[in-house]
Structures are given as C-alpha cells and as structure tokens.
Amino acid sequence: VSPPPTLAALFSTDPIDRARHSIGRSYRDVIRGIRGELGATVDAVVRPTSEADVVAALDWANDAGVAVIPFGGGTSVVGGVEPTRCEDYDGTISLDMSNLDRVLEVDDVSRAARVQAGVLGPALEDQLRPSGLTLRFFPQSFERSSVGGWLATRAAGHYATRWTHIDDVTESIRAVTPIGVWESRRLPGSGAGPSPDRMLLGSEGTLGVITEAWLRLQPRPVHRARATVAFATFAEACAAVRAIVQSGLDPAACRAIDGDEARITGTHPDGAAVVVLGFESAHSPVDELLARAVECCADFGGAVVDGSAAAGGAGDAWRSTFVRAPYLREWLVLLGVLTETFETAMTWDRLPAYVEGVRAATLDAVRRVCGAGLVTCRLTHAYADGAAPYFTVLAPARRGSELDQWAEIKAAASEAILAADGTITHHHAVGRDHVPWYSRQQPEPFRRALQEFKNEVDGSGILNPGVLGLRV
Amino acid sequence: VSPPPTLAALFSTDPIDRARHSIGRSYRDVIRGIRGELGATVDAVVRPTSEADVVAALDWANDAGVAVIPFGGGTSVVGGVEPTRCEDYDGTISLDMSNLDRVLEVDDVSRAARVQAGVLGPALEDQLRPSGLTLRFFPQSFERSSVGGWLATRAAGHYATRWTHIDDVTESIRAVTPIGVWESRRLPGSGAGPSPDRMLLGSEGTLGVITEAWLRLQPRPVHRARATVAFATFAEACAAVRAIVQSGLDPAACRAIDGDEARITGTHPDGAAVVVLGFESAHSPVDELLARAVECCADFGGAVVDGSAAAGGAGDAWRSTFVRAPYLREWLVLLGVLTETFETAMTWDRLPAYVEGVRAATLDAVRRVCGAGLVTCRLTHAYADGAAPYFTVLAPARRGSELDQWAEIKAAASEAILAADGTITHHHAVGRDHVPWYSRQQPEPFRRALQEFKNEVDGSGILNPGVLGLRV
C-alpha cells in the first residue's frame, strides 16, 4: 500500500507494529504468537490524530480498494482484528485509534461525557476522576481495551447486573462511514424509528469507524459491602443468583462459580461452589441489602464463608484472579496447557440443563481430543430472566496440534450451544471466528437485510471484511 | 381488492369497518371523524386468526401489489394506520391483528411470557393474573392499544423511570415478512452482532408484521406509597425530578406538572407546579424511599400537599384525569376547542431552556393562529441523563379551519424541536405525520441504509407505505 503524501505521516510499516496489529488475544492467537506463525499481517498501521484523518484514510482506502480493520486495544478473542478474508483487496490497513484518547466534554448536570473512541479503560477513568463521576464499566479486558471497541462489540462490564452491556449506557454515537459521518442526537430516550445507535452497537467495524460517543456516567460509589457464600452444588448457587436478581436487590456483583473454578482461583480452597456478592452505592449504606441477599442464599443452603466491607478474603482472591487471568494464561500456554474460555446466555427455565449439556458436550470433546481435562463454569452476568454462563477449558495440549485441538473442542461446544437455542456469544462478539454459528443464529430476513444495509454504507466492502459474515 | 377463496372468510369490506380502520386518534383524526371527511379508506379489513393467515395474506398482497397496513388497537396519533401514500398500489388492506390475542405461554421461572401481538393491555393483564406476574406496562393508550403496536412503535409505559420503553422488556420477537418469518432467539442478553429485535422495535409495520413476542414480567407490587409535592415554579419541580432520578431511588412514578396543567387537571387547585411521586415494590415497604424522595423535593422548595399510601387526594385526581384525558378530548373538540399534545426528550443540561424555547415557539404560533390559547407542559418520563417533556395545546378553534390551524402550530413546534437538537418523538412514534422532521433527525448514512434494509425484506414495498419516510 502506498499512502498519499498527506497521510504518509500516519503510516507505519514496521514489521513488529504490523504483526502486533494482526493478532488478538485468543488461545489461537497466543499459540500463533508463540510459534511466530501469524499468517497474513496488515500492510500498514495507520494512526489518525483526528476525525479528519479518519475521513481521509477511509476516502483513500475506498478509492484504493484497501481493506480497513478498525483497531482499539487489540483484545479481540474472536478474530476481530486479523486480516484474514482480506485477500482479495489491494492491501489491508489496521486503523489504530489510540491517538483519539480524550474525554472531550463532561456534562455533570446530565451526568454524561463525550469521549473519543480510542481511549482505554484506565485513561478514561483518570480523565473522569476530577468530575467525581465514573463510567463504572469494567470488562475483564478493561486495562487494554477501548471505548470504541466496547461499543463496536457490545462489550459487557463486570458490575454485572442491571446495566450490563455498554449499549445500556450509550446516549449517542458518532462514526465515520464511506458515505459520510453518522451521528445520532444526544437523547436520554427516543421512540423515533429503529435506534441508529443499536445498529452501530455490535457492528464490529463493518458499518463505520466509531470516533466518539456520549456515555452515561454515575457518581463514584462510597458505600460497599461484599460476601462470599458457599453452596453444596453449582445448581444451588445458580438458583440463589436467580432469587437475588429477581428480588429487586440490584447487587453490583452477583456471580456463581462452580467448585472446580472456585478451587483453581482460590475463591474456595475446598472447591465448594460459591456466589460472590457485592453491593455498592453512591447514596446510602448497603449492608442491609447485602444481608437480604445473603438470606436469599441461605434459602438454597448457602453459608457465608467471607463477608466484610473491608479488603481481603475470598472475594478479593477471586477479583484478583479475575483481573490477572488473561495475563496468567500466557504462562499456562507456555507450560503446554490448552486454556480458553467461551460464553453464552440462556433464560433461567432452561439454564441448569443448558449448562450441564454444553459442559458435557465440551468435556466429551476435551477427552476425545486431549485425553483428559476440565471444563469449569461461572455465571458472569445475571438478569431477572436469565444469565450468562462462562466456561473455561483446561487440558493438556499436544505441542504442534494446539490449534486443531482447540478448533475441534470449540466446534463441539458451539454446536451444543446452537442446538440448545443459546447465543454463540454474550459479550465476546462475533468477529471472524464465530461466523459459522452466528450466521445460523440470526433471523434469516435480518441476516439478508443487514447485508444490504452494509452494502449501502460501505459499497466497496472495505470495512473489516469477513466480520459478522458480511460479504463484499 | 378481490381476495382468493382461501382468504375470503377473513375479509370485511363493510364501509364502517373500513372507515374505523383508516383513522387514528390524533386531533386531526377526531376532526376528520366528526366531519365525516376521512379521505381515502382501506379497501378491506383482513382479520387473520393465525400466523399462517398472516403469511397467506402477505403472500397474496405481495403478488397482487396490495398495500398492507398492520393494525393493532388503532390508537396511532401520528397517521400510522391511515392509507395515505398508498395511492399507487392496486388496493390497500388493514391487517387487523385483534384475533391473535392470547398469552401462549408463561415461564414463571424466568418471569417471561410468550404473547400474541394482537392482545390489548387489559386482556393481557387478565391472562397474566393467575401467574401472579404482570408486564406492568401502562402507556396512556393501555386500554385500547396492543402488544404488537407497542413493539412496532417503541411505546413507553407510565411506570416511567428505569424501564420505560417496551424495548427494555423485550426478550425476543417473531414477525412475518414478505421474505419469510423473522424470529430472534429468546435470550436474557446477547452481544452477537447488532440486535435484530432493535430493528423491529420502531419499525412501525414497515419491515414485517409482528405476530408474537417473549416479554419480561415482574411480580405484582404489594407495597405502595405516593405523594404530591408543590413547588413555586415548574423549573424547580423539574430540578427536583432530576435530583430524585439521579439519587438511585427508582420511583415507579416521578412526574413534574406545570402550574397551568396542575390547575386544569385538578392536581393542584391553585395552580402550583407539582411533582407526583409514586413508589411500588413486590418485595419490601417503600415508605422510606418516598421519604427520601420528598427530602430531595424539599431541597428545591417542594412542600407535600398530599401524601399517603391510601386512595384519594391530588395524585388520584391526576391519575384519573391522565387515564380519562384521551376520552375527554373528544368532548372538548365538539365544544370547539383545539386540543392536542406533542412530546420530545432532552438531556438535563439543556432541558430548562429547551422546554421554555419549545413552549414559546408553540405559544407564538397558537396566538398567531387562534388569537389566544395555552401551552402546558409536564415531564412524563425521567432518566438519570434527561427527561421527556410532554406539551398540551388548548386554544379556541375556528370551525372549518381546525386542520390548517393545527398544522401550522404543529409545524412551529416541530421546527423548534428540531432546531434545538431534540427528537420529534419520545414515544408517540413517527407514522406519516412526523416524516418531514424525522427524516432530518436521522443520521444520514443510517437513513439511506435503512431504506436498503427495507428493500431487502419488502422488495415490493407493500408494508405500511409512507411510514418512517421509506420509499417503495
């Protein structure tokens, strides 16, 4: 690719830079990174310093027939940033948004902020801190992922009840498309036709490059209480989570963890299933709310093993492991452990059978492929009508065969999910990896019409080719 | 239109039936109804008794080039059900969904129900009652409007904080399109691509005929408390509403009403601005929550004029007027009063200036057109980041000129809304009447792509022509 002189200063063709932008953070990515077998890499990394640069880069790419992969923090675990299915283009660039990293405006009356898409989680919160407000949106990738990435992939935060997905805190979005700027009005609510924001949310870079958004903020919490409650079985822990979220209590955190995962993460040394509970408020003490949630747990045989408003204890062990998990994984992989996660969602009526069915199908595949292994489960997000089960696979990998091994396990898990009417993803997005299952999950008229929608805003099909299964 | 023998039994060509299906409930509709000047009427009313009938009717209409206007309760106030812009078709039918009026399934574990689109509010709640659950969704049109209509128009209920729009309680939707059935999976949450449900929500019959949905339910509330609080000014009442919704209190009702409207509705005999507060819970007493909300009001000079958990008082007067208002209006119209409402939304930072600006522009037009009159305002829905102002116009009409008079006032109000970055509707929908302003409000790339989306699912353009400004 040869950029026009006006854009040349934004282009990097450094091989390491290009390689780092051509790979995400899935097990498959880690293995390929270790092996140095990335496959195709982008031809250049382009770093706009303004929205005008984004417009100029898209105009140039559109004319030159160059594919454009929007890049936020690069934490995709579904092949969202890699240049496969870009082979038919006259080149591929990674559009790295990291220079657009400012909070442009804080409206402390409406409690909202206008934020550039490239800002990562910690830098966002740093810039909001003087206002006393917070987005309070903490996906597991928080430290390395960007606002634009959250919006494009419908990320979910880990204050994981009530407002879970970034969708819920989005007031308006601004994006650059090949046919012009797409900007919605800043509104607290609207019933004027289908929501334009909801089409960009989940578009994963295929409909436009998100440059800014107005996001809803909240005051920083000052009251906190938490507890860890142990159960005889994971099913009872899940039932307690259901009772709590259906009670109108709105815990900030309410997560069920099965025995194996509790033991591995140090949340419960003897491997009892647990529920980790947290309440937070900016307005009033939450101890009574916690006490009522603990009562719900007791109805299902749950006993508090650790509960306090102070630091320390099992909840902390879990939190700390949770945040460190993605980093730890790279070490496990080096030690020859196949380690990957997948996640889905289901209504409560079918959840127990669903969790056990998906787990069993996955474990079958693990044993067939690896000889032995473990499939653990936690509920990461809970709703009044259902929850999001999150599975972790741990198994001995065969060096050199890791990718094939994981592909076979992933296919077995995904088929079980699809067959039981689940979703192929609750918050990891579709990317390129999930396309075979996502395509079957979409209502067919919607799938066809989404393609035509895409064709209108991106007639040359330069935006993130292959993602969501969209064709040129 | 001449139906095939297999569909003939569903067809009615009775003139009164056709006329009743060709008009909504706006002031313009009432005037035209009184005058007997409906303009074009649909050629037939078709009443499917099953989804298979809907499929057959759409197949026939598609082949015959007949326009199809989906009809729920017929309470549109934006020209959503009238056959204007249908002139180029070989006929127009109103597809009356009232026979599809059953709750098909109640899942009391997940607290959700599978509901047919044609059921009206009271019949829905009657069928849910044995389960102890409720949708608790009460638009002002509740008694006469349908689930399908709520979904298609993104209706808003009058427990008006937290979950306001029907969007928020929708688990999945099933619809019939000319290219096949569109059904989303039943999920508590998902991040798999742009939400298909969110495209049907607000589609107003242009993308498909909604036949069923899974909707989220809640237990019936048993604890209640409410109060009416008087303020020196409407601005202070609005400020109190902001303080309450930003406090994390989640009132079931929290509505500011200006002095003129409080006097007219009997909410406050001396015409003080008021806030009507209501708390409800299925789980625990709410008196303390009400007390905290009243404290927020006191910070802005608000004094309780009526507060009790028992029946009666000013809050009741307001509620009763609220529900009766649409019926009362027909009498006012007969007495020669021009009476109509319009509504919008705005973030808190700009709300006070917005309300006064829109009110002033509307009042200018009222005085110019009618010589005198009143423009009152209430906040019907409140969010942490903004609210929905709802304006009522009362003025002496000139017999024979009512439609022109209202058109001029409506245009002035709408221009003021658009110019100040508001939305042309918060919950009344777009229909045919709002198209000139809706088209300007949409992000341009979205507007173009929505047309292509429509073209794919409805290539012949038979579905509700003219609504949302979509072309054939």
Q: What is the pLDDT of residues A378-431, one digit of tens each?
A: 999 999 999 999 999 999 999 999 999 999 999 999 999 999 999 999 999 999
Query: Per 3-state DSSP, what percentage of chain B is helix, strand, and coil (rounded to 5)?
Result: 35, 25, 40
| Token representation of residue B32 | 């035209």
> φ, ψ for residue A55 (rounded to 5)?
-60, -45
Per-residue pLDDT of chain B (472 residues; tens, 9 = 90+): 888 899 999 999 999 999 999 999 999 999 999 998 988 999 999 999 999 999 999 999 999 999 999 999 999 999 999 999 899 999 999 999 999 999 999 999 999 999 999 999 999 999 999 999 999 999 999 999 999 999 999 999 987 667 889 999 999 999 999 999 999 999 999 999 999 999 999 999 999 999 999 999 999 999 999 999 999 999 999 999 999 999 988 899 999 999 999 998 888 989 999 999 999 999 999 999 999 999 999 999 999 997 654 444 566 666 666 667 777 787 888 889 999 999 999 999 999 999 999 999 999 999 999 999 999 999 999 999 999 999 999 999 999 999 999 999 999 999 999 999 999 999 999 999 999 999 999 999 999 999 999 999 999 999 999 999 998 7
If 0-12 CB within 10 Å is exposed, 13-18 middle and 19+ buried, where does residue A311 land?
exposed
Buried b (16+ CB within 10 A) or exposed e, B65-96: ebbbbbbbbbbbbbbbbbbebbeebebbbbbb
Q: Judge whether B163 is closer than 8 Å to chain A, CB to CB.
A: no
Give B367's contacts (C-beta < 8 A, 6+ positions apart).
Answer: B373
Phi-psi region of A302 (alpha: psi -120 to 50; beta: other; left: phi over 0): beta
Q: What are the chain A neighbours of B164 within 8 Å (beta carbons)? A: 189
Q: Do the chains contact at B422 and A203, CB–CB below 8 Å?
A: no
- ipTM for the predicted complex comes to 0.96
Q: What is the DSSP letter of A2?
A: -
Question: What distance in Å separates residue B269's CA from the closest CA in chain A?
Answer: 32
Q: Do the chains contact at A247 and B283, CB–CB below 8 Å?
A: yes
Contact (Cβ atoms closer than 8 angstroms) between residue A24 and residue A81: yes
Q: Judge whether B216 is closer than 8 Å to chain A, CB to CB.
A: yes
| Range list of β-strands (E), B40-136 | 44-46, 67-71, 92-96, 103-107, 112-116, 133-134
Q: Do the chains contact at B194 and A177, CB–CB below 8 Å?
A: no
List the 63-92 stretch of B: residues with Cβ below 8 A of A. none
List the 338-377 stretch of B: residues with Cβ below 8 A of A. 345-349
For residue A7, which of A46, A35, A64 has the smallest C-alpha distance? A46
For residue A407, which of A435, A372, A433 has the smallest C-alpha distance? A433
Q: Judge whether A36 is closer than 8 Å to chain B, CB to CB.
A: no
Confidence at residue B306, expressed as pLDDT on a 0 to 100 scale: 78
Q: What is the rounded CA–CA span in Å between residue A383 and residue A45?
A: 40
If 0-12 CB within 10 Å is exposed, 13-18 middle and 19+ buried, where does residue A466 land?
buried
| Token representation of residue B88 | 């180029």
Q: Do the chains contact at A171 and B385, CB–CB below 8 Å?
A: yes
Contact (Cβ atoms closer than 8 angstroms) between residue B344 and residue B357: no
| Range list of β-strands (E), A322-373 | 337-343, 346-347
Q: Do the chains contact at A383 and B423, CB–CB below 8 Å?
A: no
Confidence at residue B308, expressed as pLDDT on a 0 to 100 scale: 54
Q: What is the rounded CA–CA span in Å between residue B336 and residue A196?
A: 41
Q: What is the rounded CA–CA span in Å between residue A258 and residue A268?
A: 10
Give B378's contacts (C-beta < 8 A, 6+ positions apart).
Answer: B255, B256, B257, B258, B261, B389, B390, B392
For residue B94, which of B73, B77, B117, B115 has the smallest C-alpha distance? B73
Q: Judge whether B386 is closer than 8 Å to chain A, CB to CB.
A: yes
Q: What are the chain A neighbours of B150 within 8 Å (beta carbons)? A: none
| The model's pTM | 0.96
Q: Which residue ranges of chain A lie beneath pLDDT 70?
A: 160-161, 307-323
Question: What distance in Å separates residue B19's CA from the closest CA in chain A?
Answer: 26
Q: What is the rounded CA–CA span in Å between residue B187 and residue A421?
A: 9
List the 228-257 stretch of A: residues with Cβ below 8 A of B. 242, 246-248
Q: Which of A282, A384, A443 sits opposite B183 (nearest CB)?
A: A443
Question: What distance in Å separates residue B344's CA from the closest CA in chain A?
Answer: 8
In single-letter form, the type of residue at position A272 comes to A
Q: Do the chains contact at A191 and B349, CB–CB below 8 Å?
A: no
- Please, which residues bridge with residue B337 across strands? B396
Q: Do the chains contact at B171 and A347, CB–CB below 8 Å?
A: yes
Strands B92-96 and B44-46: parallel
Q: Which of A185, A424, A468 sits opposite B423 (nearest CB)?
A: A185
Q: What is the DSSP letter of B165?
A: B
Q: What is the rounded CA–CA span in Å between residue B80 and residue B150?
A: 12
Q: Do the chains contact at A185 and B154, CB–CB below 8 Å?
A: no
> φ, ψ for residue B224 (rounded to 5)?
-145, 145
